[in-house]
Structure 1
């Protein structure tokens, strides 16, 4: 653990700092990353020892409370803010709330603006779902040398803009392997093989909760089956509840309240005198 001051000027500790992640490059060590979205998922990541977390802005306070020493990134949606001032204000607010890096897939001037203020900025390359229209749909990237060179140039431009980390989604492993040796950016592999400094997978994919998972996903358990069984049990319980209410069977005596002995007669007597 490293002692730090947060961007909100509060003392704290972290399992990894920005420098630690940068120093990992070339070390042969890889870290894990997941995206918990509620209290149960955050606690599960902590208990499982997941190295780093990424959460949406609405969850940063909860994540920092439940995972006080974890390196945690947070994000803005592509169209969540329009002006540079809005983005900068949001990023600073998230960092002050305890985030350790800030994700955006907006333009390089936005990356430059955030980096100038000392914010560790994460960007996104390869298959960027937001821009899949430009690529003709959801497709892997970097499988030809032309695409690989284009990725290299984008890497260098983001590096020049001051990006600290980059999610590399669905890029050929060989491409990322070579590019990772030629950039100071911390690479976060999602569907890009074993070449990344950090390996990222969505919670739903890890736990088997997605009915139509992408090709690069792997379910290490089958929570989907459990969810379906729980749903069936929920519907059965509700159906039985409705039936017994309509049949005037429920509430049962054990769930009802009775007057004390002798009080009903007194109540009737009192009502008769009104």
Structure 2
């Protein structure tokens, strides 16, 4: 399957049109590509899922670049999006420098940044520079504390209006798509119908043009918490724990390594070494 272009992506309207997976390294990105997903997002959620932070806020550009490069090596034929970490796009100048690094050094095809009306000048600067941008409204994890925590957004008129206005402004600024995170389904439907660019939902119901889940969530590796919108398609974490426990048990019992997993040598060579 050929890698999608931005023009291809802009035309992907209708539920089920885009499948995106958030992956953070070579093996998970490789699996995602082999499984046939359309898009891979190297999300700053790696702060919690991979690096063990309590939120996405501590994640640095260097940490993101490290993982973007690894994911690119794992999925060279898949459209790859790099998440702009907290404060990396505080000004248009900072955003241009950091987004440019993702494309030039990391090999990303696009960047994603959180926010609505407040980030329009940044989006406009990036688009003018030829950097494809994916928007993100609704729950924005980098600023979750100011939104009342990790909870559904847009349930009251004020916050719903903010999401609608933010999505409209992002499209006008030139994004090729908009992520809707933890938004009520009726609101996600209206926003999706209004925008001419695709929406990608996470906790926004089945009405968006695409869907995204974190690799570690959908295969059951990450278990610190499980949002309502996550469906586990496997329990790989349990299998991995069982495998490591079996390895530890066999080592302690002297079962592993056995002859099949060891190397031999001719006895006369060993005698020459020790002078026997």
Q: TM-score range, shorter-chain basis?
A: 0.7 to 0.9
Match of 2:71 among 56, 60, 63: 63
Residues 57 and 75 of structure 1 are in contact (CA less than 8 Å); yes or no, is this contact kept in structure 2?
no
CA distance in 2, matches of 1:95, 1:147: 33
Q: Which residue does 1:210 correspond to in 2?
A: 222
Distance apart, 1:28 and its partner CA: 4.9
Q: Which residue does 1:182 correspond to in 2?
A: 194
For residues 156 and 267 of structure 1, do their structure 2 counterparts lie closer, same or farther at Cα, with a shift above 3 Å needed? closer
Distance apart, 1:80 and its partner CA: 4.5
Gaps of 5+ in 2: 43-63
Q: Which residue does 2:249 correspond to in 1?
A: 236
- Matched residue pairs, number? 246
Residues 3 and 78 of structure 2 are in contact (CA less than 8 Å); yes or no, is this contact kept in structure 1?
yes
| TM, length-normalised to structure 1 | 0.77
Gaps of 5+ in 1: 2-13, 245-249, 269-274
Secondary structure at the residue paired with 1:175? Answer: helix
Distance apart, 1:176 and its partner CA: 0.7
Q: Which residue does 2:7 correspond to in 1?
A: 19
Residues 139 and 150 of structure 2 are in contact (CA less than 8 Å); yes or no, is this contact kept in structure 1?
yes
Distance apart, 1:105 and its partner CA: 2.4
CA distance in 1, matches of 2:15, 2:91: 40
Distance apart, 1:239 and its partner CA: 4.1
**Structure with more contact order per residue of length (Cα contacts < 8 Å, sep ≥ 6):** 2
Match of 1:103 among 95, 112, 130: 112
CA distance in 1, matches of 2:66, 2:270: 57
Higher-Rg structure is 1
CA distance in 2, matches of 1:191, 1:224: 23
Q: Between 128-137 and 93-102, report the one with greater CA deviation.
A: 93-102
For residues 255 and 87 of structure 1, do their structure 2 counterparts lie closer, same or farther at Cα, with a shift above 3 Å needed? same
CA distance in 1, matches of 2:263, 2:131: 57
Q: Which residue does 1:90 correspond to in 2?
A: 98
| TM, length-normalised to structure 2 | 0.77
1:86-235 map, 5 Å = 86-96=94-104, 97-105=106-114, 107-211=119-223, 212-235=225-248
1:36 aligns with 2:23: yes
Secondary structure at the residue paired with 1:118? Answer: coil
